[in-house]
Amino acid sequence: MTEQNNTRFQIRLPIILAVTLAVGMFIGQQLPHFDKQIRLAPAYQPGGIASSIDEILRYIESRYVDTIKVNDLKTGAIDHLLEQLDPHSVYISPDELAAIEDEMSGDFEGIGIEFMMLDDTIQVVTPLSGGPSEAAGVLAGDRIVTINDSVVAGVKIDNGSIFKKLRGEKGSKVNLGIMRGREKKLRKYTITRDVIPVKSVDVAYMLDDRTAYVRITRFSARTYQEFMEAVRPLSEEKNMQDLVLDLRGNPGGYLEEATDLLSQFFPEGKLLV
């Protein structure tokens, strides 16, 4: 590089750095808008056994005698892989993720339950407060065995299919067969679907002159905002000094909402999770 070129480079370098900093600042300003989305893991770089799996799938696709759907094979392989871990480690497909985000971000029509798959059985984590399942008497821990007389226990049903069976237009009905605890007899429920409001802070009031009580039923996309809106009048108008935060039956949700809420009680930099 000549001295003249070197001088030009030295002149341009601050400009390049300034542009880089400006872009970095712009990206940094935009990132908070996406904090409430479900974080996706970075793409895994193929290598070793991953390359072998891809090679097997390509071989099956090109040589297998019958027509197959490779994506179904991939999904099945992922499900089987995660089954080797713990009951709470599951693969969420793009369609299932969209349904979950709808449920966590806005109102939807259905029977109003949070559920999980446990040993090939749909288990109710919690009936949503004010929803039709709660009104019908469905309880946390109930196991759904049949939906509209179709067996859904022990048949390897995926979450997407469950959403389709349980959700539907307001006013439509769905029949559930439920096993509770150690009972031997199937309980029958007919539930009328309704609009399920996604509200996570459903109770907030003063227990006495000093102590407030707030119940949080889930950590959805607006939990922190709902919490602040509920607590502010208790603090400013009722002179709240102590707070009972009720998380019983809360199935979880967005981690960012939980940490935002906890930031109101703990100093910055303290490890929370």
Rounded to an integer, what distance in angstroms lies between the CA atom of residue 123 and that of residue 185?
17
Q: Is the dihedral of CA 139, 140, 145, 148 positive or negative?
A: positive
Rounded to an integer, what distance in angstroms lies between the CA atom of residue 105 and that of residue 9?
50
Instruction: Give the tens place of pLDDT for each residue, 177-209.
Output: 999 999 999 999 999 999 887 788 988 999 999
- Give the DSSP H or E segment for 80: helix 70-83
Q: Which amino acid is at 109?
A: E
Instruction: Give the tens place of pLDDT for each residue, 72-106.
Output: 888 888 888 888 888 778 788 887 777 777 777 76
Rounded to an integer, what distance in angstroms lies between the CA atom of residue 28 and that of residue 22?
10
pTM metric for this prediction: 0.51
pLDDT at 71: 82
CATH of the domain spanning 107-196, picked from 2.30.42.10, 3.40.630.10, 3.90.480.10, 3.30.590.10: 2.30.42.10
pLDDT at 193: 96
Q: pLDDT-based confidence at 273, cuts 50/70/90?
A: low
Token look-up 């094979």 returns 73
Q: Which residue has the higher pLDDT, 178 or 2?
A: 178
Q: pLDDT-based confidence at 48, cuts 50/70/90?
A: low
* Contact in structure between 118 and 179 (CB atoms under 8 Å): no
Rounded to an integer, what distance in angstroms lies between the CA atom of residue 86 and that of residue 209?
45
Rounded to an integer, what distance in angstroms lies between the CA atom of residue 231 and that of residue 204?
7
Counting residues of the chain whose pLDDT is more than 70, the rounded percentage is: 79
Rounded to an integer, what distance in angstroms lies between the CA atom of residue 78 and that of residue 53?
11
Tokens coding 194? 């309704």
Rounded to an integer, what distance in angstroms lies between the CA atom of residue 111 and that of residue 162?
12
Domain ranges of the chain: 49-83, 107-196, 201-262
